[in-house]
A = this chain, B = another copy of it.
Amino acid sequence: MTALQELLAFNRTTEALGQVMGRLGWDQETFMPPGAAEQRGEEMAALEGVLHARRTDPKVGEWLAAAKPETEAEAAQLREIGRGHARAVKVPAELASELARLTSVSQGIWARARAEEDVAAFLPTLSQVVALRREEAAAIADGGDLYDALLQDYEPGATAAEIAALFDRMRPRLKDLRSRLAGAKMPTPLQGHFAADAQMALAHETAERFGYDFAHGRLDLAVHPFSSGSGADVRITTRVDEGEPMGCLYSTIHEVGHACYEQNIAPALRLSALGQGVSMGVHESQSRIYENQLGRSPEFCRFLHGRMEAHFGALSASQEEIARVINRVETGFIRTEADEVHYNLHIMLRFDLERQLFDGTLEVADLEEAWNDRFAADFGMTVDKPSNGVLQDVHWSVGLFGYFPTYTLGNVYAGCLYAALRRDVPGLDAALAAGDPAPALDWLRERLQRHGGLRTPRETIEHATGAEISEEHLLAYLEAKYGALFGL
Chain A residues engaging chain B, CB cutoff 8 angstroms: 12-13, 16-17, 19-20, 23-24, 27, 31-36, 38-40, 42-43, 45-47, 49-50, 213-218, 231-233, 235, 270-271
Whole-angstrom distance from the CB of A259 to the nearest CB of chain B?
Answer: 11
Nearest opposing residue in chain B for A15, CB measure: B46
- Most interface-central of A12, A17, A218, A232 (chain B CB within 10 A): A232
* Contact B215–A34 (Cβ < 8 Å): yes
* Contact B43–A270 (Cβ < 8 Å): no
Whole-angstrom distance from the CB of A226 to the nearest CB of chain B?
Answer: 16
* Contact A46–B33 (Cβ < 8 Å): no
Across-interface contacts of A217 in B (CB, < 8 A): 33
Whole-angstrom distance from the CB of A68 to the nearest CB of chain B?
Answer: 26
The secondary-structure label for the interface of chain A is helix
Instruction: For A231, give its contact among B24, B39, B213, B233 (CB under 8 Å).
Output: B39
Nearest opposing residue in chain B for A22, CB measure: B43
Contact A16/B43 with A24-B23, A31-B31 known, Cβ cut-off 8 Å: yes
User: Measured between alpha carbons, how far is A213 from B36 in the docked complex, in Å?
Assistant: 11
* Contact A216–B36 (Cβ < 8 Å): yes
* Contact A20–B38 (Cβ < 8 Å): no
User: Measured between alpha carbons, how far is A235 from B40 in the docked complex, in Å?
Assistant: 14
User: Measured between alpha carbons, how far is A300 from B418 in the docked complex, in Å?
Assistant: 67
Across-interface contacts of A232 in B (CB, < 8 A): 33, 35-36, 38-39
Contact A33/B233 with A13-B49, A17-B43, A19-B39 known, Cβ cut-off 8 Å: yes
Whole-angstrom distance from the CB of A208 to the nearest CB of chain B?
Answer: 13
Across-interface contacts of A49 in B (CB, < 8 A): 13
Nearest opposing residue in chain B for A233, CB measure: B36
Across-interface contacts of A19 in B (CB, < 8 A): 39, 43
* Contact A33–B218 (Cβ < 8 Å): yes
Counting every copy of the chain, the complex holds 2
Across-interface contacts of A23 in B (CB, < 8 A): 24, 27, 43
Whole-angstrom distance from the CB of A140 to the nearest CB of chain B?
Answer: 27
Nearest opposing residue in chain B for A43, CB measure: B16
Across-interface contacts of A213 in B (CB, < 8 A): 35
Across-interface contacts of A43 in B (CB, < 8 A): 16-17, 19-20, 23
User: Measured between alpha carbons, how far is A40 from B39 in the docked complex, in Å?
Assistant: 23
Across-interface contacts of A27 in B (CB, < 8 A): 23, 27
- Most interface-central of A32, A213, A218, A233 (chain B CB within 10 A): A233
User: Measured between alpha carbons, how far is A34 from B271 in the docked complex, in Å?
Assistant: 18
User: Measured between alpha carbons, how far is A213 from B33 in the docked complex, in Å?
Assistant: 10
User: Measured between alpha carbons, how far is A13 from B235 in the docked complex, in Å?
Assistant: 28
Across-interface contacts of A50 in B (CB, < 8 A): 17, 50
User: Measured between alpha carbons, how far is A394 from B40 in the docked complex, in Å?
Assistant: 31
* Contact A33–B214 (Cβ < 8 Å): yes
- Most interface-central of A19, A39, A213, A271 (chain B CB within 10 A): A39
Further 7 A-B residue pairs, CB within 8 A, beyond A17-B46, A17-B47, A32-B233:
A16-B45, A20-B24, A23-B24, A33-B216, A33-B235, A38-B232, A39-B231
23 A-B pairs, CB-CB below 8 angstroms? A12-B42, A13-B46, A16-B42, A16-B43, A16-B45, A17-B43, A27-B27, A31-B31, A32-B233, A33-B214, A33-B216, A33-B217, A33-B218, A33-B235, A35-B216, A36-B233, A38-B232, A39-B231, A39-B232, A39-B233, A39-B270, A40-B233, A50-B50
User: Measured between alpha carbons, how far is A16 from B27 in the docked complex, in Å?
Assistant: 16
Across-interface contacts of A12 in B (CB, < 8 A): 42
Whole-angstrom distance from the CB of A400 to the nearest CB of chain B?
Answer: 25
Nearest opposing residue in chain B for A37, CB measure: B232
Nearest opposing residue in chain B for A19, CB measure: B43
Across-interface contacts of A32 in B (CB, < 8 A): 233
Nearest opposing residue in chain B for A229, CB measure: B36
User: Measured between alpha carbons, how far is A33 from B216 in the docked complex, in Å?
Assistant: 5
Nearest opposing residue in chain B for A230, CB measure: B39
* Contact A215–B20 (Cβ < 8 Å): no
Across-interface contacts of A24 in B (CB, < 8 A): 20, 23
